Amino acid sequence: MKKQIGLILLSLSVVSACSKNTTKSSSTSEAVATPEAAKAFWDSYEKESEVLDVKVNLAQWAAMTNITDETEKVASASNEEYMAFNSRTFKEAMKYKDVKGDAALERALGFLTSAPYVPSPDNDAKRKELAEIMTKMEGMYGKGEYCTGDGDKKSCRDLGELSEVLKSSRNYDELLEAWNGWRTVSPQMKPLYSRFVELANEGAKEMGLEDTGAGWRSWYDMSTEDFSQTVDRLYSEVEPLYKDLHCYAREQLSQKYPGKMKADGAIPAHLLGNMWAQGWENIYDIMQPYASKTNIDIDGELVKQGYDAIKMVKAGESFFTSLGMKSLPDSFWTNSMFVQPEDRDVVCHASAWDVTNDDDVRIKMCIKQNEEDLITIHHELGHIYYYLYYNNLPNVFQGGAHDGFHEAIGDAIALSMTNDYYNKIGLLDRVPEQNEKELINAQMRRALEKIAFLPFGRMIDQWRWDVFSGKVGPDDYNGHWWKLRKQFQGVESPNVRPAEAFDPGAKYHIPGNTPYVRYFLSFILQFQMHKALCDAAGFEGPLNECSIHGSKEAGEKMMALLSMGKSKPWQDALEAMTGTRDMSAGALLEYFAPLRTFLAEQNKGKQCGW
């Protein structure tokens, strides 16, 4: 989307709106609903939305980088104002939904008559309540801590500190305490989230939508049915590889923590190195297939070579400029938040922002000196460069071809962060010779990040769609969450959850109301993009060895896609880069072909699945 990734209010969806929208069309005379009148409406929208975008983004930035009652109050008021603007714009746009004009006008009208991120009721008091709830939930997440003891002996740990335990400890009980500890911050969100669902759905129905989730599924230049089928098809392509990885992981973890899990069951969520078990790269030491003579310690080199936060971001910028792209504006370095402040509460969850429509782009991170954050920086800069290259388009077209594209750009770049790349920038003194065992080790490390994520990326919005549709009520929020976690991931809660638990709220994107299937789609798209960019760079060899660093030819192909924004259907953008109009997991499976063979051999005779 155009502004902060995850910003909850911007009405930046794609052309295909739900067919029920037609029931809310305003009655206007043919003389009014002309192409000329529609164009005048669009022009008015552009001027007003640009001013309001800036106001909302500055208020949101302040609230997330300095969480106080006052900044939350201002952010809530700006949210409320934006929801009112969205409602008014939708009603006005519906007068012109059937107007025929040039392709740009028809596409713009399609966006303006489609579902916003948060449909709001046409009632001032309810709109105010909805804005306050959303701001309050984000603030609760950002300020969340797990505290033990009391008085002088009181000790509190925030998400970063608890996540470090999940990452580095191999003590079962320590892991369990940290995992349970973070989930103490979310039960109080449950009544707020339930009311949020009620209010958002009320607004959705006023717009002619079945519910908020149906609106979200209408953003993809295809019918909601075709979209759902596409997601199911893509997941079916990658599910066998995930199940093979799960089977291998369960065996390794069973040996590490004997007696703590069933040989043919789900894996306890706290043992996978990540607070949400969404990526397993932090347990590579347990999962490493072969003992290695190659000592690749990027974390250690970053510390040794003095890579502070700024130097790490500069390294990310240099990748993009090596492709022929522009340098980041001076304001980026002045306005971004790179490290966690010591004097105030902030939301550390990494995000990229396009604030004021004049190249005021920023990232918000609490950067640490490790490879994981270096990769995250490249991801966030993918958003930033998307902003910079489509900022000359009309406001309504400033966004990714679809939201998965926005997430995929930086990750496609990160796939080029190979040993050869690290050697080029001086973080490896030599490129280690890669024999078959070293190749499998490298593939495993990457799969723990990429393949392990896929079912998590698939299930988050399935939970929300079920909640928005009314299939799941508040009493079953937590039960359904863990049902889906087990169904898709083969992961389960390590203990019986308290009756008041609201474990979905312990994941930022739920209280932050950020749609999540985009990440699943991006993990498919990034490999398609990587293959296309490697072809453009003239690379010959296994896809997993390719780095496009320094390739102007690959950069030209990427800049062409970025510059399109969402002015064309995503199928056009994908075809321009890859030569195909369909999303496919083929490139992902090609990339991991060596690991697939290894896992199939390792899992022979084992009872896989759960």
Question: pLDDT tens digits for 362-376?
Answer: 999 999 999 999 999
Considering the domain boundaries, does residue 101 fall inside one? yes
Q: How many helices (H) and strands (E) does the chain have?
A: 24, 6
Question: Nearest to residue 56, comparing CAs of 134, 164, 112?
Answer: 134
Count of CB atoms within 10 A of residue 68's CB? Answer: 13
Please give the pLDDT value at position 523.
97
Say if residue 452 is in the same domain as residue 571.
Answer: yes
Considering the domain boundaries, does residue 333 fall inside one? no
Considering the domain boundaries, does residue 312 fall inside one? no
Asked if pLDDT for residue 408 goes beyond 70, the answer is yes
3-class DSSP string for 391-417: CCCCHHHCCCCCHHHHHHHHHHHHCCC
Measured CA to CA, the distance from residue 329 to residue 548 in angstroms comes to 23
Of the listed ranges 115-119, 329-333, 585-589, 605-609, the one predicted with least confidence: 115-119
Number of domains in the chain: 2
Asked if pLDDT for residue 248 goes beyond 60, the answer is yes
Asked if pLDDT for residue 13 goes beyond 80, the answer is no
Measured CA to CA, the distance from residue 383 to residue 361 in angstroms comes to 10
Say if residue 443 is in the same domain as residue 581.
Answer: yes
* Maximum mean pLDDT: which of 66-75, 350-359, 432-441: 66-75
Considering the domain boundaries, does residue 352 fall inside one? no
Say if residue 455 is in the same domain as residue 600.
Answer: yes
Where among 197, 218, 239 does a domain terminate? 218
Asked if pLDDT for residue 14 goes beyond 60, the answer is no
Query: Distances in Å between the alpha carbon of 449 and those of 334, 372, 539, 595?
Result: 32, 10, 24, 14
Question: Nearest to residue 93, comparing CAs of 5, 140, 25, 35?
Answer: 25
Measured CA to CA, the distance from residue 567 to residue 569 in angstroms comes to 7
Better-predicted residue by pLDDT, 334 or 86: 334
Question: Nearest to residue 315, comparing CAs of 223, 422, 399, 230?
Answer: 422
**One-letter amino acid identity for 606?**
K
Say if residue 36 is in the same domain as residue 126.
Answer: yes
Question: How deeply is 149 buried, as exposed, middle or buried, from its count of CB atoms within 10 A (0-12, 13-18, 19+)?
Answer: exposed
Where among 218, 239, 261 does a domain terminate? 218
For the chain, give percent helix, strand, coil, nearest 5. Answer: 60, 5, 35
Measured CA to CA, the distance from residue 323 to residue 313 in angstroms comes to 16
Better-predicted residue by pLDDT, 460 or 32: 460
Question: pLDDT tens digits for 294-332?
Answer: 778 999 999 999 999 999 999 999 999 999 999 999 999
Considering the domain boundaries, does residue 194 fall inside one? yes
Give the pLDDT band (50/70/90) at residue 21: very low
Phi, psi dihedrals of residue 156, rounded to the nearest 5°: -125, 140
According to DSSP, residue 558 is labeled H
Average pLDDT of span 73-100: 92
Average pLDDT of span 421-431: 93
3-state secondary structure (DSSP) of residue 65: helix
Please give the pLDDT value at position 320.
98
Please give the pLDDT value at position 358.
76
Where among 171, 200, 218 does a domain terminate? 218
Kindly state the tokens that stand for 285: 């030491």
Better-predicted residue by pLDDT, 356 or 311: 311
Phi, psi dihedrals of residue 20, rounded to the nearest 5°: -65, -15
Asked if pLDDT for residue 30 goes beyond 90, the answer is no
> Residue 101 sits in which domain range?
19-141+189-218
Query: Quick one: how far is CA 26 from the chain centroid?
Result: 36
Bridge partners (DSSP) listed for residue 256: none
In contact, 237 and 592? CB cutoff 8 Å: no
What lies within 8 Å, CB to CB, of 68 at 6+ separation is 344, 345
- The residue whose two tokens read 């305003």 is 26
Asked if pLDDT for residue 2 goes beyond 80, the answer is no
Considering the domain boundaries, does residue 336 fall inside one? no
Please give the pLDDT value at position 31.
44
Q: What angle do CA 319, 323, 328 make, to 5 degrees?
A: 60
Say if residue 480 is in the same domain as residue 575.
Answer: yes
E strand or H helix at 156: strand 155-158
Question: pLDDT tens digits for 468-489?
Answer: 999 999 999 999 999 999 999 9
Say if residue 102 is in the same domain as residue 232.
Answer: no
Give the pLDDT band (50/70/90) at residue 293: confident
- Whole-prediction pTM: 0.91
Question: pLDDT tens digits for 263-292?
Answer: 889 999 999 999 999 999 999 999 999 988
In this prediction, what percent of the chain has a pLDDT beyond 70? 95
Please give the pLDDT value at position 262.
84
Considering the domain boundaries, does residue 338 fall inside one? no
Question: pLDDT tens digits for 433-444?
Answer: 778 999 999 999
Say if residue 198 is in the same domain as residue 244.
Answer: no
According to DSSP, residue 67 is labeled -
Please give the pLDDT value at position 154.
92
Query: Quick one: how far is CA 473 from the chain centroid?
Result: 25
Say if residue 515 is in the same domain as residue 603.
Answer: yes
Considering the domain boundaries, does residue 300 fall inside one? no
3-state secondary structure (DSSP) of residue 362: strand
Cα dihedral 449, 450, 453, 457 sign: positive
Asked if pLDDT for residue 8 goes beyond 80, the answer is no
Mean pLDDT of the chain: 92
Question: Nearest to residue 569, comparing CAs of 250, 221, 265, 324?
Answer: 221
Give the pLDDT band (50/70/90) at residue 32: confident
Helix axes 454-468, 224-256, angle to 10 degrees: 130
Question: Nearest to residue 268, comparing CAs of 599, 496, 509?
Answer: 496
Say if residue 102 is in the same domain as residue 199.
Answer: yes
Asked if pLDDT for residue 201 goes beyond 70, the answer is yes
Kindly state the tokens that stand for 372: 């994981």
Say if residue 466 is in the same domain as residue 514.
Answer: yes
Say if residue 234 is in the same domain as residue 201.
Answer: no
Kindly state the tokens that stand for 232: 């199911």
Kindly state the tokens that stand for 551: 């390739």
According to DSSP, residue 486 is labeled I
Question: Nearest to residue 63, comparing CAs of 469, 459, 346?
Answer: 346
Of the listed ranges 15-24, 115-124, 209-218, 221-230, the one predicted with least confidence: 15-24
Give the pLDDT band (50/70/90) at residue 593: very high
What lies within 8 Å, CB to CB, of 582 at 6+ separation is 571, 574
| DSSP string computed for 74-101 | HHHHHHHHHHHHHHHHHHHHGGGTT---
In total, the chain counts a number of residues equal to 610
Say if residue 226 is in the same domain as residue 117.
Answer: no
What lies within 8 Å, CB to CB, of 30 at 6+ separation is none
**Beta strand pairing call for 491-492 and 267-268:** parallel
Question: pLDDT tens digits for 497-551?
Answer: 999 999 999 999 999 999 999 999 999 999 999 999 999 999 999 999 999 999 9
